[in-house]
């Protein structure tokens, strides 16, 4: 199942594991890379992490956003500054639907196909046998130009219908 509190369940499990590892190594604090953008909207994982004692320095406490982190990384010539944001594959599946491991693999492969076609940012949202492609506006024309190859590849992955969402990439659109 893909419950609405999926992030809280995951964070609870990861916090438990991190606490065990921290205790084994004599570490008192556990911190993560949550940033100021990550605490807006519906974020049950953030609250669960806080309740489990995970701290969020320096980004949240300093008000540092994803764009700030990218700018800092770019300033220090860290090549990952341009890497697109990524989220859990469970966010590609509507709430209360089955989180099938094979489906998650198919989604990951579908996104690889679209990245290889030139997309800078992509999410393949799944609605039954429909793969709905969300991409950044700058990549939409390229994706559309390569639609035949992309569609064939996604059909091969088992998606019956392949669509390009005209609204484009929207972070958290299935939150």
Strand locations in the chain (E):
30-31, 54-55, 122-127, 130-135, 161-164
Please state, in angstroms and rounded to a whole number, the distance separating the CA atoms of residues 169 and 125: 10
Tell me the two tokens of residue 43: 């974020």
Residue carrying structure tokens 């609870």: 12
Q: What is the pLDDT of residues 109-158, one digit of tens each?
A: 999 999 999 999 999 999 999 999 999 999 999 999 999 999 999 999 99
Q: Quick one: tokens of 99?
A: 């989180």
What lies within 8 Å, CB to CB, of 33 at 6+ separation is 59
Q: Which helix (H) or strand (E) holds 23?
A: helix 6-24
* Ordered domains of the chain (ranges, CATH): 6-82 (no CATH), 89-164 (3.30.70)
Q: Which two tokens stand for residue 71?
A: 């700018």
Q: At what angle do helices 137-145 and 147-156 cross, to 10 degrees?
A: 80
pLDDT in tens, 37-70: 888 877 788 888 888 888 877 788 899 998 999 9
- Reduced to 3 states (helix: H, G, I; strand: E, B; else coil), residue 131 is strand
| Contacts of 88 by beta carbon, 8 Å cutoff, 6+ apart | 6, 7, 10
Per-residue pLDDT of 67-115, as tens digits, reads 999 999 999 999 988 888 888 999 999 999 999 999 999 999 999 999 9
The pLDDT value given to residue 161: 98
């Amino acid at each position: 199942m893909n419950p609405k509190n999926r992030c809280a369940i995951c964070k609870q499990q990861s916090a438990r594991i991190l606490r065990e590892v921290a205790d084994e190594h004599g570490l008192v604090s556990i911190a993560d890379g949550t940033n100021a953008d990550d605490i807006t909207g519906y974020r049950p994982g953030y609250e669960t992490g806080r309740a489990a004692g995970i701290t969020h320095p320096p980004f949240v406490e300093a008000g540092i956003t994803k764009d700030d982190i990218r700018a800092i990384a770019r300033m220090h010539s860290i090549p990952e500054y341009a890497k697109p944001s990524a989220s859990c594959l469970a966010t590609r599946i509507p709430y209360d639907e089955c989180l099938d491991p094979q489906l998650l693999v198919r989604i990951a492969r579908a996104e690889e196909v679209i990245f290889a076609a030139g997309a800078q940012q992509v999410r393949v949202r799944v609605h039954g046998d429909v793969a709905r492609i969300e991409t950044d506006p700058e990549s939409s024309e390229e994706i559309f130009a390569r639609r035949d190859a992309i569609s064939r590849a996604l059909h091969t992955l088992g998606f019956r219908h392949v669509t390009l969402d005209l609204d484009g990439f929207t972070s958290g659109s299935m939150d």
